[in-house]
Structures are given as C-alpha cells and as structure tokens.
Amino acid sequence: MNTVAFVVPEGIGDPQRVSGGNVYDARVSDGLAQIGWDMRTMTTEPNAAAAPLSQLADGALVLIDGLVAARSAAAVEAESWRLRIVVLAHMVASAFPDADPRDVAGERQALAAARRVVATSAWTKAELVERGLVEPDRIVVAPPGTDAAAPALGSARGTALLCLGVVAPHKGQDVLVEALADLDADVDWTCTIAGSLETIPAFAHRVADDAAALGERVRMPGVLAGTALDDAYRDADLLVAPSRVEAYGMAVTGALGRGIPVVASDVGGIPEAVAPGHAALLVPPGDARALADALERWMADPRLRERLTAAARSGRERRPLWSDTAARVAAALEEAG
C-alpha cells in the first residue's frame, strides 16, 4: 500500500469554513483512500507546517495544500531535500490583483521546491508556466470532479437563481447584487447567495446590506452543505458565478452535473469548467450591466432556457467524476518517486 502524508489547513472539516479548496482536499483524500492509498492527514495553520513536516521520516511522500505551502514556504524548501513533496495548487496567488506580496513570494519558493505540482485546471497550469513558477513537465492537471446526481427539478419560468461560494471579492457577489438591482422589477425572480460569511466579514456585510435593499427576493443563508445544498441545487433554474478570479469553478460543475445551466464570468478556468456542451452564457468579469443583460435574456427567452437546459442535461454524463480526479493526483504522487 502506498502511503502519503496529506498536509491540509486547520478547519478543513469545519462546516462554517467551507471553501472549494477544502472540499477538493477532502474529496481527493477520500478518493485516494478508495483506490488503495494509506492517507495520513496532518492539519496545521497555514503558516505552521514546519512542525508536521519535521515529524516525517526521510523519504516520506507528502502532498501539501498550496495555501499551506505558500505560507510555510521556508519549511517546504528546507525539508525538500529529504521529503518527496507534491504541492496541490488550487490557485495562483499572483493572479489576484490584490495579492499579499508575501503569499506571492512564498508560492514561488514552495513551488520551486516541489517534485511535482498538481494544478486543479488547465488554466492554472498555464498560469504557473507563463509566470515562470513551474516547468510544464512538473505539473499534473487534476480538475475537480462531480458526483452522479439526478437532474434538478427547476421550473419553466427560469426565475430561481443560485450563487454558491465563499462571500469574498474574488467571487464577485457584489457584482451580482448590483446586476440584480438592475433587473426588470416586474419579473418575479429570487436569488440565493450561499457561502461562508466569515472569510472577509466586512465584504460579506456590505453585500448583505446591498442585498437587503432588494427585499426578500435575495437570501443569504450562509454555508449550505449536505441535504441543504442538494435542496438548493434541486430547486434552482440557473447557477450564477460572477467571479472576478476563478481557477476552475466547482459550483459551476456541480450545477452542470445536475443539468442546471450557468451564467458566469468569462475568466480563469470557468470556460474550461463549462465545456463540453453549450449550457452557459459567459460575460466579462466585474461587469454588472453585462451580467444583468444575460440574466434578462435568460428569463425573457423560453427558447434560450430550453436550449441551455437541454445542453446541460445532455452533458451530465460526460463530466469527470471525483474518482477521475483522484486517479490524476495519484499519478502525480507516483511520478514524485
């Protein structure tokens, strides 16, 4: 049995700290265990990985979350001579316009010390290569998978909108609320904006205040998981992903896996996530007017809704599963020697 130490951030299982990265880490851990890997999960604060890494025997194989690697870069570099380190890159820190320079420098240092890097999208790989962070032959792409799920019920009117993701500037919920305020007041739409409100509280409070001005049409229930998340998908007509920066878009693939069409920003890995099929309308990131126009087109045109919904449903079975993701990560671990 192959053994790997998986170093992940504290709170990976905390329902109030749900993020795409945490979900990906948990699903990959489960998937690797299912195909025979002995998973030794080690949790740490992102800037405190020196202690868990120092506990590992010489030659140990290590998979380390990219956030932890970037914020514990000195430890990753120091231990790389005796450990076989693979970094799991959910995102490229330098792709964020307001990135902390310490994270950018730490990312470069940690990635240089890794034997292999797992990128969660082809876009992420391209960014890593273009920015001179990793040579292409050290990168394995392992996009997020989907779960087999029944098609969403939806409605003929197309007015039930759903937005999922941590409430933070890069996810663009402020752009969505601005777009919703521009919609025709005569259309009886609703929108659920679900995700952690604790990551950047000031931003989340500002979005919530702006959403409150739109009345009960907009709900912000916080994190949805398990049955509550399944119910939200089941009742949705359209998934809206207004991100300013996005490495892939797990909410997008979660929706498409249930036959729910998407309106999303044309940014990062989102075009990759919506392919194959023609089940999405893409708009420029940060453009509330363009987003409002796309939502109005969707709600006003029954033929458009029928076409996009049919495309989403027909493409469900062609989407990769989480078992496919785990197999690609396993290949990266095996390549690390």
Whether pTM exceeds 0.85: yes
Residue 302: the pLDDT is: 94
Confidence band (pLDDT; 50, 70, 90) for 16?
low
**In what helix (H) or strand (E) does residue 163 lie, and over which residues does it extend?**
strand 160-164
Asked if residue 289 has pLDDT above 90, the reply is yes
Mean pLDDT of 83-92: 96
Q: What is the mean pLDDT of residues 156-163?
A: 93
Distance CA 187, CA 296 (A): 9
Strands in 280-283's sheet, in edge-to-edge order, are 218-222, 190-194, 160-164, 238-241, 262-265, 280-283
Q: Percent of the chain scored above 90 by pLDDT?
A: 82
Angle between helices 20-34 and 322-335 (to 10 degrees): 80
| Average pLDDT estimate for 227-239 | 94
Q: Which of 203, 192, 198 is nearest to 163 (CA)?
A: 192
- pLDDT for the residue numbered 33: 97
**Whether pLDDT at 277 is above 80:** no
pLDDT tens readout for residues 61-81? 999 999 999 999 999 999 999
Q: Dump pLDDT digits (tens) for 196-231.
A: 998 899 999 999 999 999 999 999 999 998 899 999
What average pLDDT does the structure give for the chain? 93
Identify the pLDDT of residue 1. Answer: 67
Domains and CATH numbers, the chain: 3-145+321-335 (3.40.50.2000), 160-318 (3.40.50.2000)
